[in-house]
Amino acid sequence: MLLDTFGRQAVDLRVSLTDRCNLRCTYCMPEEGLQWLGRSELLTDEEIVRLVSIAVTDLGVTEVRFTGGEPLLRPGLVAIVAACAELAPRPELSLTSNGIGLARIAAALKAAGLDRVNVSLDTLDPEVFRTLTRRSRHQDVLDGLAAAEAAGLTPVKLNAVLMRGVNDHEAPDLLAWCLAHGYQLRFIEQMPLDAQHGWDRSQMVTAGEILERLGTRFALTPEPSAARGAAPAERWLVDGGPASVGVIASVTRPFCRACDRTRLTADGQVRNCLFATGETDLRTALREGGSDAEIAALWRAAMWGKKAGAGIDDPEFLQPERPMSAIGG
C-alpha cells in the first residue's frame, strides 16, 4: 500500500502522458518559451503501463486518471488505456482533457475501457475562450463534450477556472448550461502552478465568491460531507437537487487531510503532492532493470514522506518548479 506518516493511503494515481498542449491557458502556460521534455526523457507507452501495473497490482491503486499537458496528444493513448483496462484488479480509468480531438477518439477510448472524462471549459463565449486559451478552438471543445456523452464516458464532468475580469461573470451561465446538458460542473480555484509564476492571491476568485455568484441565480445547499470522501470538490445541491455543483477550493479550503493521490509525471517521476518540491525518480530504476518489488519500494518511500498539507496560504510557501502542465493536473 502507499501510506504516509499521517495515515493516508494513496489509491488514486494521476498519470501525466505529456507536458505538451495545444492550448495556452493563461493560468497554466505562457504563450511561448516553455521548455518541453525531450523524447528520451518521456516514458514509453510500455514503461507507463508497467508502472501503472505495479501501482495497481502491488501498491493498492484502484483509480487511474490520465492527464497532462493534453493527454489526447499522446499517440498511444488508446493502447495505454486498453492495457490498463486488462489489469487485475481492474482500476477505474478516467481522463482529464481540454476536449480538443475528443470528438474523433471518444468511442475508441470507451471501447478500450475508459470509464469517464473530465473536460476543461471555462467559458461559453468563443471570444472569451480565445482570450483565456490563446486559441480559437471553442467549438472543438463543445464537440468533444457531446461526443464523450454520446460514447457513454459518463458522467461527463466539466472543470472551470474563473479569472477575475475575464470569465468570472459567467459562473451562473456555466452552471445553467451544464444542468441543461447533464454535465457535472466543478469550479477550481486558481492555484499557484502556472509556468510563468504569475499567480496573485489577491486576484484569485475564491470559492466564497464563486458560491456568492451562483447564489444570485440558484439555491445551493451543501451536500452531506459524508458523500465527499476523498473527493477534492465540495458539492452543493442545486435548487434542492438531484443536480449538484462542485467547488475545488485548494487555496481557501484545502482538503489535504483526506488526500488519496499519488502522481506520475510523463518523465517517470513520482510526486506525493501537486505542490511537492521534491520527486522520486522511477524512470532510472525502470531503465536500469529494477524489479517490480524494487520500483514498488521506491514508490512507497516517496509517499511515506508526504507532507501534512500543501500550505499554499502559509507565508513559507514555495511554488514547485514544475508547472501544473508538467506534473499532471
How many alpha carbons fall within 13 Å on the CB side of residue 45?
12
Is position 269 an interface residue for ligand SAM (rule: CB under 6 A)?
Answer: no
| Shortest distance in whole angstroms from residue 98 CB to ligand SF4 | 4
C-alpha grid cell, residue 79:
493502447
User: For residue 164, how far is the Cα from the chain centroid?
Assistant: 22
Burial class (CB in 10 A: 0-12, 13-18, 19+), 154: middle
Contacts of 24 (CB under 8 A, 6+ apart): 30, 31, 133, 134, 135
What region, left, alpha or beta, does residue 205 occupy, with left being phi > 0 and alpha being psi -120 to 50 degrees? beta
Instruction: Tell me the DSSP string of 249-277.
Output: -TTTS--GGG--EEEE-TTSEEESSTT-S
Is position 135 an interface residue for ligand SF4 (rule: CB under 6 A)?
Answer: no
Is position 325 an interface residue for ligand SF4 (rule: CB under 6 A)?
Answer: yes
Considering only 18, 26, 94, 96, the residue that binds ligand SAM (CB under 6 A) is 96
* Contact positions with ligand SAM (CB under 6 A) in 100-129: 120
Considering only 10, 23, 43, 73, the residue that binds ligand SF4 (CB under 6 A) is 23
* Contact positions with ligand SF4 (CB under 6 A) in 61-80: 68-70
Q: Please report, as a single letter, which amino acid is at residue 327.
A: I
Query: Judged by CB, which is closer to ligand SF4: 29, or 233?
Result: 29
Considering only 10, 273, 324, 326, the residue that binds ligand SAM (CB under 6 A) is 324
Is position 244 an interface residue for ligand SAM (rule: CB under 6 A)?
Answer: no
Q: List residues binding ligand SAM (CB under 6 A).
A: 21, 27-28, 67-68, 70, 96-98, 120, 159, 161, 188, 190-191, 193-194, 324-325, 329
> Which residues of this chain interact with ligand SF4, rule CB under 6 A?
21, 23-25, 28-29, 68-70, 98, 120, 325
